[in-house]
Amino acid sequence: MKVLKFGGTSVGSATTINNVISILEKKSKNNTIIVVVSAVGGITDKLLYAAHLAIEKDKDYKDVFLRIKDIHIDLVKQLIPTDNESIVSAIEIKLDSLNNLLEGLYLLNDLTPKISDKLFSYGELLSSYIIAETMKSRELDVIRKNSQELIVTNSNHGNAEISRKETEENIKEYFIQNSQSITILPGFVAKSNTGEETTLGRGGSDYTAAIVAAALKADVLEIWTDVSGMYTANPNLVKQAIPIKQLSFQEAMELSHFGAKVLYPPTVQPVEDANIPILIKNTMQPDDAGTKISDEKNASIKNPVKGITHINNIALLTLQGPGMVGIPGFSKRLFEILAQEKINVIFITQASSEHAICFGIDIKDSEVAENAINKAFEYEITLKKIDPIIVESGLSIIALIGDNMKNHQGISGRMFSTLGKNNINVRAIAQGASERNISAVIGENDASKALNALHERFFEVQNKRLNVFIVGVGNVGERLIDQIEQQYSFLKKKLKIDVRIVGMANSRKMVFNENGIDLEDWPSAFDFAEQSNLERFFNKVLELNLHNSIFVDITADEKVSDWYAPYLHHSISVVACNKIACSGSYSTYKNLHDLALNFNTSFLYETNVGAGLPIINTLNNLVASGDKVTSIEAVLSGSLNFVFNNFGDHTNFHDTVKRAQFEGYTEPDPRIDLSGIDVARKILILARENGEKMEIEDIKNESFLTKANLESISVDDFYDTLKEDESHFQQIYASAKANNCQLKYVAEFKNGKAKVGLREISEGHPFYNLEGKDNIVMFYTERYPEQPLIVKGAGAGADVTASGLFADIIKIGNK
């Protein structure tokens, strides 16, 4: 014998009811089937709405009633297209009595709990009748029994308690006499021992099914709903959540108590007592395995954590004061007050000092609790033995659930380190001696981030999702997006990193997609994007509040770099191509590093020096390993290297610079490159990475430009001065040629001092044959005193710069 319960979504339309009937037809071939059904999806809400309109003297209740009537009659006509007149007539008679009830509410203006029970019972009574008649029309061996004739309760209307002994006797007696293969029962509804209609409260249909299953010692209780079991987390918030194959009764109770709405806690107890397994199944996908709940032990399940769940709308109340220490009775008085006010306590914790008791309740009860507690402890508050109750709102409880957590060390440590790494502040912690549940109170705004971060930590060890936000979708930005798209599968398979671009902005527009922007056609996302604004971009990143968030700056805009500190302060990693922040004031540079350290996040800027070359990374590794860098010599401008590799006595300097700009080797304003300020910023960054507290003014800049070049007021004016001063540049070239040297713009750091300038490089020097846009850096250290450690390669270009940014993103993913 099997007991099956189908929820509102399972009986919400003709399509889903046909699925239900198909399932029942298959199962009834070899089993006796008892089916408990809920009201048609959404009907209970419509009944409540109609009642409220009626008692408020709003005649629109009649329109709602007609909608309820149409839904049920249309359902019959879809399920039983012909010979349905008698069934439609029977439903109309039942609905006439509902209409009379609503008219009475309109006249009397009073909705008592007793009348509410009668009102709400219509949903289950109608749905069970329609399903039973539909099955009869298809010649299935079925009978409908009104549960109100079997289930006996007290008179606590709205949440009646079942009289188990009398109810079980009724159920056994009826089914001994019943020979049909399928019996349909309306869930949720009952009658009191005085014959009044009652209901079983939230989850009442599940509870009906559990009571019937326990009374008849059924083989299994199947709960059919719209999901394929109980999930490792709420799938609406955690997209990677998966169905849990097996749970113990206690684990299921914990998950259902802490927000897993697939199963209601009272359902578990009757079947657990009778040792009847529960199976959670999906009506629309009946072949899915679902979740089995039983007392079976499965040694093959390695993960001690079965699920992560949460409850929103929590208020945290704290009773504290010096007068509580060592004095018995405070806890007793506190919880008696809450019990008297019928306030359910969801969470409790108390420090061993006995100085404070902290507990969580539903936010809707917080004001009543606050007033009642302050009144009860008024005398102690007046004497300053305790403080007025402290109430904090806007909170959630998040919990790890699992029977075997007690047998595994470090679960709590992993939980709280994960929350800490994601800048999620924990307000309170509770853990029972059974260690089946580890709970923490956090900000409600952090609940989704916490769920995703913890789910990744405990269930997705194979993949770490990175949520990337890009500002600056120009030439380099386009290349970065292309590289991320190209390498997506490789990174996910080989490095277990799932890189999603969640937000991007150019100078005009910005766009976001929490699930990741489609990179195959990302430009079209800007067609419906909002106007770009750095503050709104930042606020949107905070609003999304995604774990492992990374802000990527691919601009040269100081206004963008000003936002690094706020991002780091919120534990959002920063990857910067923009070198303004790191080459600005030393205090800014140090502050950004301190923020990254304090908030356990990353601030990476490899592309500040040498595009994609691992220059900064190499220097950091030298310093971290204990080596001491004594001097640095470098050609750090791919732009200037390109210019002087292509300039000679057969070309003019003006045209060479124009070509460099056209081919993308210089900034739109080439003065930035040719003035040497860009190289000065790069050697400054390297000096700072080596531990020097230097400012840009400390860098000696030996410019090769003329006074007219340096004083030009615009780019066009600058190019005009280059033409006028061609002889100056030809003299520089002629001198180098006469000395059999190459011209290179060199940065040097030694003995705490740094300088940049154009140098004649003789043959045999590592810089002599440096071609095109290449960069080269030579590190002289205590370990490399004579033959320096050399890093050499392309130091400019969109592709290599993008690859450097990509490498920093991957580095964060591997952290």
Which pLDDT value is given to residue 355? 77
In the predicted model, is pLDDT for residue 148 greater than 80? Answer: yes
Pairing assessment for the beta strands 220-225 and 278-282 based on DSSP bridges: parallel
Distance spanning both ends of the chain, measured CA to CA: 54
| Torsion of Cα atoms, 154 then 157 then 162 then 168, to 10° | 90
Task: Grade residue 12 by pLDDT with cuts at 50, 70 and 90.
Answer: confident
pLDDT tens digits, one per residue of 432-449: 655 688 899 999 999 999
Question: For residue 696, what is the DSSP state?
Answer: G
111: confidence class by pLDDT, cuts 50, 70, 90: confident
Burial status of residue 57 (CB atoms within 10 A of its CB: 0-12, 13-18, 19 or more): exposed
Rounded distance between C-alpha atoms, residue 2 and residue 217, angstroms: 9
**Percent of the chain clearing pLDDT 70 (strictly above):** 98
Give the whole-angstrom CA distance, residue 701 versus residue 677: 8
Statement: residue 772 has pLDDT above 80: no
Q: How far apart are CA 719 and CA 712, in angstroms?
A: 9
What pLDDT score does 560 carry? 96
247, 289 in Cβ contact below 8 A?
no
Q: Is the pLDDT of residue 398 over 70?
A: yes
How far apart CA 172 and CA 39 sit, in angstroms, is 25
CB 577 within 8 A of CB 554: yes
Would the pLDDT of 523 be above 70?
yes
Weakest-pLDDT range from 136-140, 364-368, 456-460: 456-460
Q: Which two tokens stand for residue 137?
A: 């029309």
- The tens digit of pLDDT for each residue in 285-309 reads 999 999 999 988 765 567 788 999 8
Q: Which residues of 514-553 are buried (b: 16+ CB within 10 A; e: fewer)?
A: eebbebeebeebbeebeebeeeebbebbeebbbbbbbbbb
Q: Report the pLDDT averaged over residues 455-460.
A: 85
Is the pLDDT at 568 greater than 70? The verdict is: yes
pLDDT tens by residue, 159-192: 889 999 999 999 999 999 888 899 999 999 999 9
Integer angstrom CA distances of residue 293 from 283, 287, 305, 457: 18, 18, 15, 24
* Residue 11 pLDDT class (50, 70, 90 cuts): confident
Question: What is the pLDDT at residue 298?
Answer: 64
Q: Is 455 helix (H, G, I), strand (E, B) or coil?
A: helix
pLDDT score of 656: 94
- Predicted confidence (pLDDT) per residue in 697-732, tens digit: 999 999 999 999 999 999 999 999 999 999 999 999
E runs forming strands in 163-269: 182-186, 189-192, 197-199, 220-225, 246-247
Per-residue model confidence (pLDDT) at position 275: 92
Active site members: 682
How much is the pLDDT for 433? Answer: 55
Mean pLDDT along residues 616-625: 95
Residue 511 — very low, low, confident or very high, per pLDDT cuts 50/70/90? very high
Which of 315, 225, 233, 297 has the alpha carbon at shortest distance from 264? 225
Write down the pTM of the prediction. 0.71
Question: What would the mean pLDDT of 741-752 be, rounded to a whole number?
Answer: 94
Number of H helices, E strands in the chain: 28, 30
DSSP string over 218-231: -SEEEEEESSSS-B
Poorest-pLDDT segment among 196-200, 218-222, 480-484, 793-797: 793-797
Q: What pLDDT score does 353 carry? A: 61
